[in-house]
Amino acid sequence: MAHTVVLLCRCFGEIDGVVDLDGIAGRLREQKQDMSVYLLDSLCQEDDGPKIETLLREEKAREVVAALCAGDRGYHPLRNALRKAGIGPSGHATVDLREGCAWVHRSDPAGATEKALDLVSMALAALAEKEPSRDVTTAVHPSCAILGAGPAGLAAAAALAGQGIHVHLLDRADRPGGMLNLISKIYPEDDDGKSRIDPFVREVEANERITFHPRSRVTAATGFAGNFRITAEGPDGPFRFRAGAVIIATGAGIFLPRGLYRYGELKEVITQIELERQWIRGTPEKKRFAFIQCVGARSSERPYCSTICCPSSLKNAMRVVAEVPGGEATVFHRDIMTPGSVLEEYYRRTMEKGVQFVRFREDDPPEILGEKAVEAVRVRDAGSGKEHVLPVETVVLSTPLVPNRDNGALSALFRVGLDSHGFFSETYPLHPLETRLDGIFIAGSARWPVSSEKAVEQGQGAAMKALALLGRDRISALSLSRTPEEKPGHGTVAENACTGCGNCVAVCPFEACALQERDGGRFVSRVNKMRCKACGSCVSVCPNGTMQIPEHNYRVTAAMIRRSFSA
């Protein structure tokens, strides 16, 4: 057994006030092992790191057990010391003697001491069985594929190109801009719709690093972070390229409220987008506008708020009052959603400009009256319970953004998940704009209905996240961890033992396992180490122990169980 150093931290009395560390040290030293035991007041103070590093070097330590607080989870100085002393993840084990022992067993110091000795013994036994995972590295292709040239995609493209990354920007339309091409004015600035994206569009045209592929869509995608291989179909036929990262910014679709509020039956019942089209052509002719919110949203089929419809209605209502001579606007709503100080101010301004608001209940929606044309809206006010009939000429329906119809196909291509509504889902928790697969990011309404302002923010955010990957020459599989440390290993197959049953392939949440055929028709599992996250799902379903995570293989668990009550 390699020379082991055991570091017992007194934690300034927090641990050894309850646990008899001296006794434990004595017991450990009695064991006939090549082991040195140290008792230290602390392991985390500023000068502790170098002190420990020196100690480990002098001891020529190959393996280390550190018994300390639970605080080693993150940037504990001990980790640095271990790394500098050349001890990798499979060469050390930590034991939580503070939160996990001393602090919860203060009323039973004898029991706590016994437990502490057991925990240290478990760690020593585990260490003897830990093995290192073989790491692989891959070159990172310094380019990014951005799907969708709306505000999110454009902002991302500009940000990345500005950092020296080549960008392949694809869009189904023949020009960039996405849904903003259909919008006359944006909120809250009330500026021209294109103002948000003009600088980005100019960047796309001017910057050589950005290649814009109009009328193109992705047809195949393979690979992994740093090395995606994308096949796309464009107006001139198929084309292929490599990308180190992918940003999905394909936006969302618009819900057409057929059958709701007599849309399709009366031509004056229109959607917000149709109103935008009217503004683009010129001032609308009709004067009396009704805006109805939550049409087909916040319902049982679509139980979400689409976030942009209320501000859009406020914007258009104010425009009616300001630009249409004699214009009047009433907003019929279930709630007005205008979070934040800017939008709140926008809402107040709308009220000040004379726009009326009537609240209705979900189970008692307004009714559109009129035989051949819109004549009035009948509504029951939710507050007073009184029914009103308001004469109107145009009814504008606020409908939600809905997932694009080909989200399903795209998600299958890239193997990223969709949420229960059909939008691309980010990985949980605390990792916005990232999908469950490294190197694939999402931004804008593809992820969730957002305003163009937020889409730009997210596009830039996704670009920065992509840059963390694309800025490196090479990445190693063990470094692809979302936590501040290294990945704790990856699934490793003992090829001769694999029966090819495919359980690991079926269970892996990251689709990191695949069966490869060998001579004689045998199948053997192979782990894509870049995709593997070491969750251990494969290990638990492997029938004969072929699949292991070397740093926590089944001998480690067995050894720990053995020693768990051995004191």
The correct pick among 427, 452, 492, 528 for binding another protein (CB under 8 A) is: 427
48-56: long-range pairs with CB below 8 Å, 24+: 48/77, 48/78, 48/81, 49/77, 49/78, 49/80, 49/81, 50/81, 52/7, 52/77, 52/78, 52/81, 52/85, 53/80, 53/81, 53/84, 53/85, 55/5, 56/5, 56/81, 56/82, 56/85, 56/87
Q: Quick check: 188 binds another protein (CB under 8 A)?
A: no
Between 30 and 285, name the residue whose CB sits nearer to another protein. 30
Query: Looking at 42-50, 57-65, 146-154, 425-433, which segment touches another protein (CB under 8 A)?
Result: 425-433
436 binds another protein (CB under 8 A): yes
531 lies in the binding site for another protein (CB under 8 A): no
Among 48, 72, 114, 203, binds another protein (CB under 8 A): 114
By CB under 8 A, residue 447 contacts another protein: yes
Is position 119 an interface residue for another protein (rule: CB under 8 A)?
yes
Distance CA(84)–CA(130), nearest Å, equals: 20
Decide if residue 70 touches another protein (CB under 8 A).
yes
User: Please, which residue, 102 or 475, has the CB nearer to another protein?
Assistant: 102
Q: In the complex, what is the shortest distance from the CB of residue 172 to another protein, in angstroms, rounded to a whole number?
A: 24
Q: Does 490 bind another protein (CB under 8 A)?
A: no
> Which residue stretch of 84-92, 213-221, 288-296, 527-535 sits at the interface with another protein (rule: CB under 8 A)?
527-535
To the nearest whole angstrom, how small is the minimum distance from the Cβ of residue 71 to another protein? Answer: 9
Smallest distance from the beta carbon of 418 to another protein, in angstroms? 6
Residue closer to another protein by CB (options 305, 464) is: 305
| Contact flag: residue 516 with another protein (CB under 8 A) | no
Rounded to whole angstroms, the Cα distance separating 358 from 388 reads: 10
Answer yes or no whether residue 440 interacts with another protein by CB under 8 A: no
> Quick check: 303 binds another protein (CB under 8 A)?
yes
- Binding-site member from 23, 214, 370, 471 for another protein (CB under 8 A): 23
Among 428, 468, 473, 484, which residue sits at the site for another protein (rule: CB under 8 A)?
A: 428
Question: Which CB, 97 or 140, lies closer to another protein?
Answer: 97
Torsion of CA 522, 525, 526, 527, to 10 degrees: 180
Residue 462, sorted as left (phi over 0), alpha (psi -120 to 50) or beta, turns out to be alpha
Q: Looking at 61, 81, 82, 117, which residue binds another protein (CB under 8 A)?
A: 117
With binding defined as CB under 8 A, does residue 540 bind another protein? Answer: yes
Q: Does 25 bind another protein (CB under 8 A)?
A: no
Q: Nearer to another protein by C-beta: 120 or 329?
A: 120
| Site for another protein contains 88 (CB under 8 A) | no
Q: Which residue has the tokens 């504008």?
A: 396
What DSSP string runs through 271-330?
EHHHHHHHHHHS--S--EEEEE--TTSSSSSS-S--SSHHHHHHHHHHHHHHHSTT-EEE
The whole-angstrom separation of Cα 336 and Cα 565 is 61
328 touching another protein, by CB under 8 A: no
Query: How would DSSP label each residue in 53-84?
Result: HHHHHHHT-SEEEEEE-GGGGSS-HHHHHHHH
Reported as type and span, the H/E element at residue 195 is none
The letter for the amino acid at 195 is: S
Dist CA 231 CA 219 (whole Å): 6
